[in-house]
């Protein structure tokens, strides 16, 4: 079973929400998870309705059954300073480096160093053990960059390892890569039942596989129930108009005769039904395309009023119900 | 660009897209916003519309969906604009489109600024290869660089640019500056000539810090990487002036009056929050914001019927219905419905005529007899003549669907109102949601029509 869950997905598919729900789901029954943010957006803090996360691991939620979710917003600059401090005892020289722009240079421009630091920090948390030799976190969930960039982000360690052929960065990159390519890691992709996110999911899986990074499951997010389908529309098309008008009228929505309030509702209502049926049909096609990928899929329903804390717990429950992820 | 008399509501002026793209003074339109809000589609739709309204347009896209790229004929990455076929050029316009090839753009800058030998040294440097293949900021910078090139060529009336799918919508604004400060940085100097820095007694601390730092870096990255970086930096040195000038020029270009920023968002909390940040940031940078494009907005032709009433009516309809009857019975009325419309059922009364029976039936509460125990003969007889059960069921379904739509509408309006309350000065245009994805010119035209639609107007 994987212990590092990397959650990616096309922009707008709700990967931060899914990552948070997954961290909650994995934390039940007294377990402890770490939810990691790498892009400095403070999305986790917003979801859990707390103030901005500092660069330190802190408990942000309790899961049913006594589990705990901890969170960390990794800041590449701070991670580099930590790293230097850990290996070289830099002290105030670290500040001098910062003043010179070296840290800025290293974390924004130096090839992949930033990404090594971010993934390295997550891998460190995965492997961290307490005094008794037990893992500090049962699972680490990373809210990763979007699908289009995730393979490069995770695989960057390979690139850095190729660039820096010796030295601690090289060793660090190698160590990180060993974790990322092991069965300990699973990259999950979040998608909607729309063409572009599904296409990106398929492309992303191919890229991850080509890079030798293990793919976990596909989370289909924001699904909506099909209230009507083409069959119903056919009934409507077969001349049930008058019947619908009567029914609407009978339900107290006005007159059913031509020009009556209820009768005038029919065209717009049927138009909405046609759009709905078209969408249901598109979603069916996309669902089939996802099933063809041959990966475990999980479905999370749309929360019409947006995601709040209660909704997040609901999503975690739904994930858990769908089996181990 | 905006007009006060036609407003979405009291606080949001309308963004007149046609006035914007028709204005010969508008030379650059930048579409920005967070991921997944339809930036690329908006940029392409604006391009098609502007071209069909007579302007010579080039659309620079960063990462279009495959089918959209194919439909515009730009699936090959050759880093030059290609004319898009199928665009109506009768108004004298043209549409060209290109997809950014980041590495190639970078290579071209190097080739354009260094002699052949130096260029080769740079292009072969592992550090350069890694940097140009797309690490943080390169894509954003190259998009701005390409924009600068297209603008400098002056071959286009209008350049529409789509911004990269950044981790934040603000990244691309920072990229040119970041590169500029990187190239100006003391750190570069240190890398290039560690021995030359410091020297004077007063600089001693700095000097110690630096030698310690380069030593550390050497240890950290490995001597070979540091050498690669130093070689790269040295080789690029002659180009730095050029790079910096270009970065500055691009930045000024974005501030120029001919540029218009369109912030693209979907009516969702996160996307609009990002849009608000962006609006504030553009103001701080004195960059000209034209307005907000709110994509995928839902409407309803039956907005007079509220979600609550629709749900209550749906409930009333299903309560009166045998919705818990066994399958076979539930299927029977549909067969009746078929029979009613069948010509074999000679002289059958029209559905309209049958309706009152159904209503009487329901109003009388006789439906209570249609229990799972099996239909009473009376109920069966009613079924034989009345299509009202499936009609009522269908009506209830339509009403539930409508209630869902109205809830979506209300939510979208709330999110939008939150934005307009914060930024009442920002003109807005709303684009109605389409059921499916857009991947052809016809779809882009539809989007273009919707972009230009005056609030309250409906499509013809």
Strand partners, A86: none
Helices A241-250 and A261-291 pack at an angle, to 10 degrees, of 110
Half-sphere exposure of B286 (CA within 13 A, CB side): 6
Asked if pLDDT for residue B311 goes beyond 80, the answer is: yes
Percent of chain A clearing pLDDT 70 (strictly above) = 88
Distance of CA A325 to the CA centre of its chain: 13
User: Which of A101, A170, A273 has its CB closest to that of B187?
Assistant: A101
Q: Which helix (H) or strand (E) holds A9?
A: strand A4-9
Q: Which residues contact B224 (CB under 8 A, 6 or more apart)?
A: A164, A165, A166
A vs B, Cβ pairs < 8 A, gives 257
Could you count the other beta carbons within 10 Å of the beta carbon of residue B310?
Answer: 27
Q: A299-320, pLDDT tens digit by residue?
A: 999 987 778 899 999 999 999 9
**DSSP label at B11?**
S
Q: What is the predicted pLDDT for the residue at A287? A: 96
Q: A124-149, pLDDT tens digit by residue?
A: 999 999 999 999 999 999 999 989 88
Same domain, B101 and B9: yes
Same domain, B153 and B258: yes
- Is residue B201 domain-resident? no
Asked if pLDDT for residue A164 goes beyond 50, the answer is: yes
User: How far is the C-alpha of A316 from the C-alpha of A17, rounded, in Å?
Assistant: 10
Lowest mean pLDDT among A118-132, B107-121, B163-177, B249-263: B163-177
* pLDDT class of A175 with cuts at 50, 70, 90: confident
* Helix (H), strand (E), coil (C) string for chain B: CEEEEEECCCCCEEECHHHHHHCCCCCEEEEECCCCCCHHHHHHHHHHHHHHCCCEEEEEECCCCHHHHHHHCCCCCCCCCEECCCCCCCCCCEEEEEECCHHHHHHHHHHHHCCHHHHHHHHHCHHHHHHHCCCCCHHHHHHHHHHHHHHHHCCCCEEEEECCCCCCCCHHHHHHHHHHHHHHCHHHHHHHCHHHCCCCHHHHHHHHHHHHHHHHHHHHHCHHHHHHHHHHHHHHHHHHHHHHHHHHHHHHHHHCCCEEEEEEECCCHHHHHHHHHHHHHHHHCCCCEEEEEEEEECCCCCCCCCHHHHHHHHHHHHHCCCCCCCHHHHHHHHHHHHHHHCCCCCCCCCHHHHHHHHHHHHHCCHHHHCCCCCCCHHHHHHHHHCCHHHHHHHHHHHHHHHHHHHHHHHHHHHHHHHHHHHCCCCCEEEEECCCCCCCCHHHHHHHHHHHHCCCCCCCC
Q: What is the predicted pLDDT for the residue at B170? A: 64
Q: What is the predicted pLDDT for the residue at B123? A: 86
Residue in chain A closest to B321 (alpha carbons) equals A247
Lowest mean pLDDT among A78-92, B119-133, B297-311: A78-92
- Does residue A53 sit in helix, strand or coil? coil
Q: Which residues contact A157 (CB under 8 A, 6 or more apart)?
A: A112, A115, A116, A119, A120, A173, A174, A176, A177, A180
- Does residue A240 sit in helix, strand or coil? helix
- Is residue B383 domain-resident? yes
CA distance B298 to chain A (A): 10
Render B185-252 in DSSP notation, one character per residue: -HHHHHHH-GGGS--SGGGHHHHHHHHHHHHHHHHHH-HHHHHHHHHHHHHHHHHHHHHHHHHHHHHH
Across the interface, whether the CB atoms of B36 and A282 are under 8 A apart is answered no
Q: Which residue has the higher pLDDT, B92 or A242?
A: B92
Q: What is the predicted pLDDT for the residue at B238? A: 62
**Structural domain for B41, as ranges:** 2-169+249-298+433-452
Q: What is the predicted pLDDT for the residue at A39? A: 81
CA distance A170 to chain B (A): 7
CA distance B247 to chain A (A): 16
Could you count the other beta carbons within 10 Å of the beta carbon of residue B253?
Answer: 18
Q: Which of residues 129-188 of A touch B (CB under 8 A)?
A: 145-146, 148-149, 152, 156, 159, 162-170
Render B90-121 in DSSP notation, one character per residue: TTS-EEEEEE--HHHHHHHHHHHHS-HHHHHH
Q: Which residues of B touch A250 (CB under 8 A)?
A: 317, 320, 358-359, 362-363, 392
- Is residue B199 domain-resident? no
Averaged pLDDT, B238-265: 82
Q: Is B56 exposed, middle or buried (0-12, 13-18, 19+ CB in 10 A)?
A: middle
Percent of chain B clearing pLDDT 90 (strictly above) = 35
Q: What is the predicted pLDDT for the residue at B155? A: 93
Q: B384-405, pLDDT tens digit by residue?
A: 334 467 788 889 999 999 999 9
Nearest by Cα to A33 from A144, A140, A186, A187: A140
Asked if pLDDT for residue A324 goes beyond 70, the answer is: yes
CA distance A29 to chain B (A): 32
Indicate which CATH number applies to the domain containing B294: 3.40.50.300
Residue in chain A closest to B405 (alpha carbons) equals A272
Asked if pLDDT for residue B375 goes beyond 60, the answer is: no
Nearest by Cα to A192 from A322, A290, A291: A290
Across the interface, whether the CB atoms of A235 and B402 are under 8 A apart is answered no
Best mutation target among B142, B182, B187, B226 (most A Cβ atoms within 10 Å) is B187
* pLDDT class of A172 with cuts at 50, 70, 90: confident
Across the interface, whether the CB atoms of B130 and A112 are under 8 A apart is answered yes
Q: Which residues of B touch A275 (CB under 8 A)?
A: 435
Q: A212-226, pLDDT tens digit by residue?
A: 999 999 999 999 888
User: Which of A152, A244, A276 has its CB closest to that of B401?
Assistant: A276
Across the interface, whether the CB atoms of B305 and A253 are under 8 A apart is answered yes
Highest mean pLDDT pick, A87-91, A170-174, B218-222, B394-398: B394-398
Q: Which helix (H) or strand (E) holds B14?
A: strand B13-15
DSSP E strand stretches across B220-378: 259-265, 289-297
Across the interface, whether the CB atoms of B390 and A235 are under 8 A apart is answered yes
Q: Which residues contact B413 (CB under 8 A, 6 or more apart)?
A: B267
Nearest by Cα to A74 from A132, A25, A125: A125
Q: Which residue has the higher pLDDT, B75 or B151?
A: B151
Q: B32-45, pLDDT tens digit by residue?
A: 988 788 888 999 99
Same domain, B152 and B281: yes
* pLDDT class of B136 with cuts at 50, 70, 90: low
Angle at B23 (CA atoms; ends B21, B26), nearest 5 degrees: 75
Residue in chain A closest to B227 (alpha carbons) equals A164
* pLDDT class of B357 with cuts at 50, 70, 90: very low
Residue in chain B closest to A97 (alpha carbons) equals B213
* The residue to which tokens 């020289």 are assigned: A93
Across the interface, whether the CB atoms of A164 and B222 are under 8 A apart is answered yes
Q: Which residue has the higher pLDDT, A187 or A104?
A: A187
Q: What is the predicted pLDDT for the residue at A81? A: 77
Q: Which residues of A touch B309 (CB under 8 A)?
A: 253
Q: Which residues of A touch B395 (CB under 8 A)?
A: 243-244, 247-248, 251
Percent of chain A clearing pLDDT 90 (strictly above) = 49
Q: Which residues of A touch B134 (CB under 8 A)?
A: 152
Angle at B48 (CA atoms; ends B43, B50), nearest 5 degrees: 90
Residue A150, sorted as left (phi over 0), alpha (psi -120 to 50) or beta, turns out to be alpha
Q: Hey, what are B336's tokens?
A: 């009746």
CATH 3.40.50.300 segments of chain A = 4-224+302-321
Across the interface, whether the CB atoms of A243 and B35 are under 8 A apart is answered no
CA distance A247 to chain B (A): 5
Fold classification of A4-224+302-321 is Rossmann fold (3.40.50)
Any B CB within 8 A of A308 CB: no
* pLDDT class of B279 with cuts at 50, 70, 90: very high
Q: Hey, what are B24's tokens?
A: 């010969």
What is the side-by-side order of every strand in the sheet holding B13-15?
A: B2-7, B13-15, B428-432, B289-297, B259-265, B28-32, B158-162, B56-61, B94-99, B82-83
Could you count the other beta carbons within 10 Å of the beta carbon of residue B4?
Answer: 7
> Could you tell me how many helices (H) and strands (E) chain A has, helices first?
13, 8
DSSP E strand stretches across A148-278: 185-191, 215-223
Q: Hey, what are B40's tokens?
A: 């690329």
Q: Hey, what are B212's tokens?
A: 């310690």
Q: Hey, what are B199's tokens?
A: 């020297």
Nearest by Cα to B51 from B14, B81, B77: B81
Q: Hey, what are B270's tokens?
A: 């996160």
CA separation (Å) from B380 to A41, B374, B383, B388, B389? 63, 9, 5, 13, 12
Across the interface, whether the CB atoms of A166 and B134 are under 8 A apart is answered no
Q: What is the predicted pLDDT for the residue at A219? A: 98
Same domain, B47 and B144: yes
Highest mean pLDDT pick, A194-208, B64-78, B324-338: A194-208
Any B CB within 8 A of A246 CB: yes
Are the C-beta atoms of A156 and A112 separated by less than 8 Å? yes
CA distance B54 to chain A (A): 31
Same domain, B287 and B383: no
* The residue to which tokens 């330190």 are assigned: A56
User: Which of B225, B316, B341 has its CB closest to that of A251?
Assistant: B316
Q: Which of residues 16-55 of A touch B (CB under 8 A)?
A: 39-41, 43
Q: What is the predicted pLDDT for the residue at A313? A: 95
Q: Which residues of A touch B216 (CB under 8 A)?
A: 84, 88, 90, 93
Phi/psi of residue A138, each to 5°? -70, -30
Lowest mean pLDDT among A63-72, A119-128, B165-174, B350-359: B350-359
Nearest by Cα to A2 from A121, A172, A137: A137
User: Which of A169, A240, A273 has its CB closest to that of B221?
Assistant: A169
Are the C-beta atoms of B94 and B87 separated by less than 8 Å? yes
Residue in chain B closest to A98 (alpha carbons) equals B187
**Sign of the torsion angle spanned by Cα atoms B266, B75, B437, B452:** positive
- Is residue B411 domain-resident? no
User: How far is the C-alpha of B131 from the C-alpha of B233, rounded, in Å?
Assistant: 12
Q: Hey, what are B202's tokens?
A: 């007063």
Q: Which residues of A touch B397 (CB under 8 A)?
A: 227-228, 232, 273
Across the interface, whether the CB atoms of B355 and A170 are under 8 A apart is answered no
Q: How many domains does chain B have?
A: 2
Strand partners, B262: B31, B291
Asked if pLDDT for residue B300 goes beyond 60, the answer is: yes
Averaged pLDDT, B311-317: 93
Same domain, B254 and B392: no
Q: What is the predicted pLDDT for the residue at B61? A: 87
Q: Which helix (H) or strand (E) holds A69?
A: strand A67-73
């Amino acid at each position: 079973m994987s212990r590092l869950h990397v959650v990616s997905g096309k922009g707008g598919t709700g990967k931060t929400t899914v990552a948070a729900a997954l961290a909650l789901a994995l934390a039940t029954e007294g377990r402890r998870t770490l939810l990691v943010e790498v892009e400095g957006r403070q999305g986790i803090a917003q979801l859990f309705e707390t103030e901005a996360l500092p660069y330190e691991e802190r408990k942000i939620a309790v899961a049913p059954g006594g589990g705990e979710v901890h969170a960390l917003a990794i800041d590449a600059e701070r991670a580099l300073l930590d790293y230097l401090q850990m290996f070289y005892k830099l002290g105030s020289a670290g500040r001098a480096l910062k003043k010179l722009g070296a840290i800025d240079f290293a974390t924004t421009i130096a090839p992949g160093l930033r990404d090594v630091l971010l993934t390295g920090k997550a891998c460190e948390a995965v492997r961290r053990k307490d005094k008794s030799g037990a893992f500090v976190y049962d699972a680490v969930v990373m809210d990763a960059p979007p699908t289009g960039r995730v393979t490069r982000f995770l695989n960057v360690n390979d690139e850095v390892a190729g660039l820096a052929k010796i030295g601690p960065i090289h060793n660090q990159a190698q160590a990180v890569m060993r974790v990322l390519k092991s069965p300990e890691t699973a990259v999950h992709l979040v998608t909607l039942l729309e063409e572009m996110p599904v296409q990106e999911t398929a492309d992303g899986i191919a890229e991850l596989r080509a890079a030798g990074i293990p793919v976990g499951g596909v989370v289909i997010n924001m699904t909506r129930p099909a209230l009507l389908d083409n069959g119903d529309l056919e009934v409507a098309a077969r001349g049930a108009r008058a019947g619908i008008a009567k029914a609407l009228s009978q339900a107290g929505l006005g007159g059913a005769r031509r020009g009556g309030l209820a009768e005038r509702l029919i065209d717009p209502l049927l138009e909405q039904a046609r759009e709905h049926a078209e969408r249901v049909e598109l979603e069916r096609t996309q669902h089939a395309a996802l099933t063809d990928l041959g990966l475990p899929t999980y479905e999370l329903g749309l929360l019409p009023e947006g995601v709040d804390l209660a909704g997040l717990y609901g999503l975690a429950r739904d994930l858990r119900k769908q089996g181990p992820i | 660009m905006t007009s006060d008399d036609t407003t979405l509501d009291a606080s949001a002026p309308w963004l007149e897209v046609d006035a914007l793209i028709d204005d010969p003074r508008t030379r650059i339109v930048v579409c920005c916003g967070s991921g997944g809000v339809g930036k690329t589609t908006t940029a392409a739709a604006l391009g098609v519309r502007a071209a069909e309204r007579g302007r010579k347009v080039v659309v620079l896209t960063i990462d279009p969906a495959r089918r959209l790229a194919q439909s515009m004929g730009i699936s090959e990455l050759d880093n030059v604009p290609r004319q898009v076929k199928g665009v109506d050029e009768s108004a004298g316009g043209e549409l060209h489109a290109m997809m950014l090839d980041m590495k190639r753009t970078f290579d071209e800058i190097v080739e354009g600024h260094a002699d052949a030998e130096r260029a080769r040294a740079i292009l072969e440097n592992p550090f350069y290869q890694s940097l140009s293949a797309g690490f943080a900021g390169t894509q954003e910078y190259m998009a701005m660089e390409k924009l600068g090139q297209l603008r400098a060529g002056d071959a286009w009336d209008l350049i529409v640019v789509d911004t990269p799918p950044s981790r934040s919508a603000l990244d691309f604004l920072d990229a040119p500056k970041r590169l500029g400060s990187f190239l100006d940085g003391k750190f570069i100097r240190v890398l290039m000539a560690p021995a030359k820095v410091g020297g004077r007694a007063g600089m001693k601390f700095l000097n110690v810090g630096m030698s310690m730092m380069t030593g550390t870096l050497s240890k950290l990255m490995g001597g070979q990487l540091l050498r690669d970086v130093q070689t790269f930096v040295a080789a690029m040195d002659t180009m730095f002036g050029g790079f910096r000038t270009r970065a500055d020029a691009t930045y000024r270009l974005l501030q120029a009056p001919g540029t218009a920023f369109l912030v693209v968002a979907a009516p969702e909390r996160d996307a609009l929050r990002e849009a608000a940040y962006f609006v504030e940031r553009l103001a701080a940078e004195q960059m000209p914001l034209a307005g907000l494009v709110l994509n995928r907005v839902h409407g309803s032709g039956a907005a007079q019927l509220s979600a609550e009433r629709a749900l209550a009516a749906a409930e009333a309809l299903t309560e009166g219905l045998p919705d818990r009857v066994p399958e076979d019975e539930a299927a029977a009325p549909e067969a009746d419905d078929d029979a009613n419309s069948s010509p074999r059922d000679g002289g059958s009364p029209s559905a309209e005529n049958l309706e009152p029976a159904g209503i009487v039936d329901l109003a009388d509460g006789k439906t209570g007899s249609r229990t799972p125990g099996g239909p009473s003969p009376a109920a069966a007889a009613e079924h034989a003549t009345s299509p009202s059960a499936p009609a009522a069921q269908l009506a209830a379904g339509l009403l539930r669907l409508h209630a869902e739509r109205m809830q979506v509408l209300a939510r979208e309006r709330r999110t939008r109102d939150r934005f307009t309350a914060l930024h009442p000065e920002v003109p807005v245009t709303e684009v109605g949601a389409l059921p499916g994805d857009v991947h052809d010119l016809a779809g882009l035209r539809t989007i273009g029509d919707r972009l230009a639609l005056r609030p309250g107007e409906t499509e013809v």
